[in-house]
Structure 1
Amino acid sequence: MQSKNWKRGIIMTVKSIPNRDQVPENLTWDLTPIFSDDQAFLAELDSVKEATKTINQLSGIMSNSADDLLNVVKKVLNLNRRYENVYVYSHLSNDVDTSNNDAQARMEQVEALGTKLSEATAWFDPEIINLGKTKIDNFISKQPKLSEYDRLFKMILKDEGHVLSVEAEKLLSGASNIFNAPEKIFSMMDSADFVFPEVKDDQGNLVRLSNGLYSLLLQSTNQNTRKEAFRKFYTVFNQFKHTLAATLSSEVAVNNYQAQTHHFNSAREQAMHENEIPESVFDTLVKTVNDNLPLLHRYVSLRKKILNLSEMHMYDMYVPLAKDPDVKYTFAESKKIMLQALQIMGPDYVKHVQEELDNRWIDVVENKGKRTGAYSSGVYDTNPYILLNWQDNLDNLYTLIHETGHSMHSFYSSHNQPYQYGNYSIFVAEIASTTNENILTDYLLANTNDSEMKKYILSQYLEGFKGTIFRQTQFAEFENWIHEQGRLGKSLTADVMSKKYKEINEKYYGDEIVSDPEIAIEWSRIPHFYYDFYVYQYATGFGAASTLAEKISSGNQNSIDAYLNYLKSGSSDTPINIMKRAGVDMTNSQYLEAAFAKFSQRMDELESLI
């Protein structure tokens, strides 16, 4: 039995998707290092539940003495650490077969426990803040073991003036499901409720649109196919635009309420404060990207020229500029290429990548019920696992090396930092993965004489740059604007948001492209607007990764060592300081300017080949 996967107007025949129990064991991840089996997991889950019931008995005693402070900190962190293990086991077990009712039930139990644990320890941060720096320093002088938590205390004390009373914080923690409602409503509408119309594919067959198929049809070489998909896709969002506007404006209201309640000037300030990032980083990004918009306009013109279009539309922005090379990249071959590309990182890095490949940290192939997409996931005490849905193409090779970048970041952090600093800020998370992508691009370009392959790699790089630095900054500008409007009490109706979004879109893409009316409502389908000032970090991360990869690819050992030290740093310092030591000052526009110079250079290379 075979099924069909529609891609770029070509019917691609693939094998039928297996059930989970039909997948070869060596292509599945091994979760036994976390728990030997489900019974061991359930026993620990029950134990964590019991411990959660009594953890609040520690409230009120940490101020008694240095030893009491040490005891409370260790017990609270240890309970969180144990919870993380049951959480990651349950979510990984669930994601490989979401149709498994037992796995779903366990996941629901764990998530409910997480809410209870958050409520049960809501007193912890306020009590640390009430102790104050002077008393904590005094306790550290009396109990040297407390110095191991000095950075932790500083991260908590930075919230002084922003944390409410214990009772107030408990109330807010208990209302987390309510505050998450706008995102949940949008997600449910987007994934389950929208019914999209049918359109014709390149062969004239009627196919029903979906989010995934829409993305593929926009890559069709037939402009009429792209146009019909684009226009019909947005009829659904236009039909529900008032509901979607109410949902997004509710998300804005939640973020602004949380910021106001915690004594921040804006939702942006609160979101960036949590990651210890100065707001100037956001403003520098937006300004630098705006200063370099002529490069995006040039890219649009290059697209128009290569595609030989008399008129360029928004639905023409995703057609590949070069033919997808008819080369298969099996998982086995891709592992070899990745290892070769990453040799420049040095033997220690490559050794740990080999561990990932040899010890079943990766769940490789698609099976029925498996979560789509790809990710790296793990906690301090577990391997950094990778979920893939492998297809034999170059895109999947990039996905493999991208997620490996995340996993090596997690591995180095957890093996070089104590538990309290073993994680890292989301601000630096995408840097490690995107650096790996850039290194792969350099490696592939240097190791092929095939002009068609070079065209494809360069076009993919340019598209990735456009979609990350330019597009995500465009999103960030809009997200900042809607939050400011909400903070000032201005109306955020569908028409108001559509008008502003179209203005920003026209500024970004310039005069060489027709600003189709449908693009005005694109804001209504972007899930990242429910992530509370997350998107700007894609752009800053890509810019930093471009600069770091350039240094690493030059073979400079000092740059490589500095990069590995960044991977090892976890949260032992602020993200800005960690990246400065790695060689990138993200408060300065220089790293972004270097990335734009690379973008311009790669555009030159593609033009010379075409």
Structure 2
Amino acid sequence: MNILLNLVFLIFNKLITGAHMQKLLFTLILLLGFVATGFSQTLEREDVPEKYKWNLADIYPTVEAWQADVDKLNKEVEKLADFKGTLGESSENLYTALKTGNNLTKTLWQTWVYAGNLSNENLNENQAVMQQMRALGTKFGEVTAFVDPEILAIPKEKIEQFFKEKPELEEFDMYIDNIQRLRTHTLTEPEEKILASFGLIAGNQNEVYGIFNNAEKPFPKVTLSTGEEVELTSSAYTRYRTAENREDREKVMKALFESFGDFKNMLGANLGGKVKKDWVYAKNRKYKSSLQASLNSDNLPTEIYSTLIEQVNNNLPTLHRALDLKKRMLGLDELHYYDLYVPLVKKTDMSFTVEEGQSVLLDALKPLGKEYVTTLQKAYDDRWIDYMPTVGKRSGAYSNGGAYDIHPYILMNWTDDFESVSTLAHELGHTMHSYFSNKTQPFAKADYATFVAEIASTVNETLLSDYMVKNAKSDEEVLY
């Protein structure tokens, strides 16, 4: 159950960091802050038509209904302590304990998805629900701190006998195997309980940055060559960094990045706190590094990470050739960062309303089959997606499939451009991955590792690119 709880913290502390994650926190959170797209985030949520908002009522009809489940969980989780000292007595005891914990964890995830999505609608107003969830998650970890050490104390032969006696235990075979694999990094029950108690503050750095970047950071203003004054919200930045006028692009990027520099001490201290926190957890679990601790949860050696970086570096000449080609096509003597986002072609209409983007994706993703496309249409019709950038809304985009018995949700910041369509294709890849995994696997086996999570999303992006090229009306659209 502690492994399941760790997954809770991974998903909701980092996600939904989108989406999907925890490596290189500072770089990622900056990038996530810039993914949101072209509308200025001045629209109030109540002014957005319902069809462009996700329907959280599919999870709970009201906040009061959510609160009732949270209150119930706070009481029910305490009953898990009744299983302490009994897991090795019989296969029935072990199964009953795991099944009870599994069901409570599933409800915990459901309440957390609701709270997280509600909070992300407006980070200025909805933080109280997430504070409750963090407290509940910490309590869950403290109460179940005995589980992993107690399972590790059961002899291997006895575990094998339990599986023969109780075939239903197969639902938890991966979970138990993972506990055995992590034996050297599992502490005693009192030590596990102490570490679990720190869950209450473990995500503080993520929360601080999220609230700062999306709700409280002052947005710089710039005056463009047209005389237009622009407030650089994260969505406006994405729009104006592609400005045709080069001086405007430079001005936009300089203003935005320097506005972060104004808070460099706070951001540095926050990042430093995150790095130290990760190392404290890794060290106390007897890992050699935070990297090893992070990867080992998915049974990945650190060599995979270093190999990926090595291969990226080995292929940098190809990237440099592409950048040199862009420089020549733009007619520039020197390529700067503020030139990277400007299109290679001019006067090409690649704007898309939400409805147009939906239609394109229904066609582009047809190779994945009728059931896939039918489910996409259901996601549109049943409002699994929150589209529009609004005041206080979390920037960027993510997919969250944690509400196992309901359906996944997608947060977007739509800007009527191709990037919005591509981002939706990407997030729908995650959503469909979660949807079919939840539909096919029991809850204990439905989650998937971050390391493979991007496969489904990049497949969707590739299918979209192929579709757009095949259906382009001009050479300019192909180049775009």
Pick the TM interval, shorter chain: 0.7 to 0.9
**1:310-389 superposed matches below 5 A:** 310-323=333-346, 325-378=348-401, 379-389=403-413
- Deviation digits for residues 349-382 of structure 1 (CA, Å, limit 9, x no counterpart): 2222222223232234445554443322232111
**1:182-261 superposed matches below 5 A:** 182-187=205-210, 190-191=213-214, 198-205=221-228, 207=230, 212-238=235-261, 241=264, 244-261=267-284
Q: Is the 8 A contact 1:363 1:386 kept in 2?
A: yes
| Counterpart residue number, 1:308 | 331
**1:573-588 superposed matches below 5 A:** none
Q: Is the 8 A contact 1:260 1:266 kept in 2?
A: yes
Identify the match of residue 52 of structure 1 among 52, 56, 77: 77
Question: How far, CA to CA, are the matches of 2:288 and 2:159 in structure 1?
Answer: 28
Question: How far, CA to CA, are the matches of 2:105 and 2:251 in structure 1?
Answer: 51
1:455 aligns with 2:460: no
Q: Is the 8 A contact 2:39 2:414 kept in 1?
A: no
Q: SS of 1:82's equivalent?
A: helix
| Counterpart residue number, 1:176 | 199
- Deviation digits for residues 229-273 of structure 1 (CA, Å, limit 9, x no counterpart): 444555455555455444433432322232222111221111111
Question: How far, CA to CA, are the matches of 1:199 and 1:118 in structure 2?
Answer: 48
Question: How far, CA to CA, are the matches of 1:422 and 1:429 in structure 2?
Answer: 12
| Counterpart residue number, 1:70 | 95
Q: Is the 8 A contact 1:115 1:174 kept in 2?
A: yes
Identify the match of residue 106 of structure 1 among 125, 129, 132: 129
Question: How far, CA to CA, are the matches of 1:418 and 1:108 in structure 2?
Answer: 29
| Counterpart residue number, 1:582 | none
**CA 236–152 in structure 1, closer or farther in 2 if over 3 Å, else same:** same
Q: SS of 1:131's equivalent?
A: coil
Residue 179 of structure 1 deviates from its aligned partner by 4.1
**CA 329–77 in structure 1, closer or farther in 2 if over 3 Å, else same:** same
Q: Is the 8 A contact 2:243 2:249 kept in 1?
A: yes
Question: How far, CA to CA, are the matches of 1:254 and 1:248 in structure 2?
Answer: 10
Aligned residues: percent identity? 35
1:424 aligns with 2:428: no
Q: SS of 1:310's equivalent?
A: coil
Q: Is the 8 A contact 2:137 2:199 kept in 1?
A: no
| Counterpart residue number, 1:263 | 286
Between 135-144 and 213-222, the greater mean CA deviation after superposition: 213-222
Structure 1 counterpart of 2:368, which letter?
Answer: M
Question: How far, CA to CA, are the matches of 2:454 and 2:389 in structure 1?
Answer: 24
**CA 411–221 in structure 1, closer or farther in 2 if over 3 Å, else same:** same
- Deviation digits for residues 100-138 of structure 1 (CA, Å, limit 9, x no counterpart): 56xx43343233212222222222222222325333112
Q: Is the 8 A contact 1:201 1:217 kept in 2?
A: no
**CA 13–23 in structure 1, closer or farther in 2 if over 3 Å, else same:** closer
1:285 aligns with 2:308: yes
Structure 2 counterpart of 1:375, which letter?
Answer: Y
Instruction: Please list every run of 5 or more consecutive structure 1 residues that lacks an aligned counterpart in the other structure.
Output: 1-11, 457-610
Question: How far, CA to CA, are the matches of 1:362 and 1:235 in structure 2?
Answer: 33
Residue 414 of structure 1 deviates from its aligned partner by 0.6
Q: SS of 2:410's equivalent?
A: strand
Question: How far, CA to CA, are the matches of 2:263 and 2:352 in structure 1?
Answer: 41
| Counterpart residue number, 2:145 | 122
**CA 218–394 in structure 1, closer or farther in 2 if over 3 Å, else same:** closer
Question: How far, CA to CA, are the matches of 2:213 and 2:120 in structure 1?
Answer: 19
Residue 47 of structure 1 deviates from its aligned partner by 1.2
Residue 295 of structure 1 deviates from its aligned partner by 0.5
| Counterpart residue number, 2:121 | 96
Question: How far, CA to CA, are the matches of 2:253 and 2:389 in structure 1?
Answer: 28
Structure 1 counterpart of 2:189, which letter?
Answer: V
Q: Is the 8 A contact 1:133 1:157 kept in 2?
A: no
Structure 1 counterpart of 2:475, which letter?
Answer: S
Residue 345 of structure 1 deviates from its aligned partner by 1.0
Question: How far, CA to CA, are the matches of 2:66 and 2:157 in structure 1?
Answer: 42
Q: SS of 1:386's equivalent?
A: strand
Between 262-271 and 216-225, the greater mean CA deviation after superposition: 216-225
Q: SS of 1:326's equivalent?
A: coil
Structure 1 counterpart of 2:116, which letter?
Answer: H
Residue 210 of structure 1 deviates from its aligned partner by 5.4
Q: SS of 1:73's equivalent?
A: helix
| Counterpart residue number, 1:167 | 190
RMSD over aligned Cα, in angstroms? 3.0
Q: Is the 8 A contact 2:362 2:376 kept in 1?
A: yes
Residue 432 of structure 1 deviates from its aligned partner by 1.0
Question: How far, CA to CA, are the matches of 1:133 and 1:220 in structure 2?
Answer: 64
| Counterpart residue number, 1:397 | 421
Instruction: Please list every run of 5 or more consecutive structure 2 residues that lacks an aligned counterpart in the other structure.
Output: 1-36
- Deviation digits for residues 397-423 of structure 1 (CA, Å, limit 9, x no counterpart): 222222211111011101111111011
Q: Is the 8 A contact 1:56 1:120 kept in 2?
A: yes
Question: How far, CA to CA, are the matches of 2:241 and 2:389 in structure 1?
Answer: 24
Between 275-284 and 166-175, the greater mean CA deviation after superposition: 275-284
**Runs of 4 or more off by more than 6 Å in structure 1?**
12-17
**CA 372–452 in structure 1, closer or farther in 2 if over 3 Å, else same:** same
1:84 aligns with 2:103: no
Identify the match of residue 170 of structure 2 among 147, 153, 162: 147
Q: Is the 8 A contact 2:53 2:386 kept in 1?
A: yes
Q: What is the TM-score with the length of structure 1 in the denominator?
A: 0.66
What is the number of residues matched between the two proteins?
Answer: 443
Question: How far, CA to CA, are the matches of 2:61 and 2:150 in structure 1?
Answer: 37
| Counterpart residue number, 1:28 | 53
**CA 217–336 in structure 1, closer or farther in 2 if over 3 Å, else same:** closer
Q: SS of 2:179's equivalent?
A: helix
- Higher RCO (CA-CA < 8 Å; seq separation 6+): 2
Question: How far, CA to CA, are the matches of 1:202 and 1:190 in structure 2?
Answer: 27
**CA 245–132 in structure 1, closer or farther in 2 if over 3 Å, else same:** farther
Question: How far, CA to CA, are the matches of 2:188 and 2:396 in structure 1?
Answer: 41
- Deviation digits for residues 485-511 of structure 1 (CA, Å, limit 9, x no counterpart): xxxxxxxxxxxxxxxxxxxxxxxxxxx
Q: What is the TM-score with the length of structure 2 in the denominator?
A: 0.82
Question: How far, CA to CA, are the matches of 2:266 and 2:129 in structure 1?
Answer: 33
Residue 17 of structure 1 deviates from its aligned partner by 6.3
| Counterpart residue number, 2:436 | 412
Q: Is the 8 A contact 1:132 1:157 kept in 2?
A: no
**CA 98–13 in structure 1, closer or farther in 2 if over 3 Å, else same:** closer
Q: Is the 8 A contact 1:256 1:266 kept in 2?
A: yes
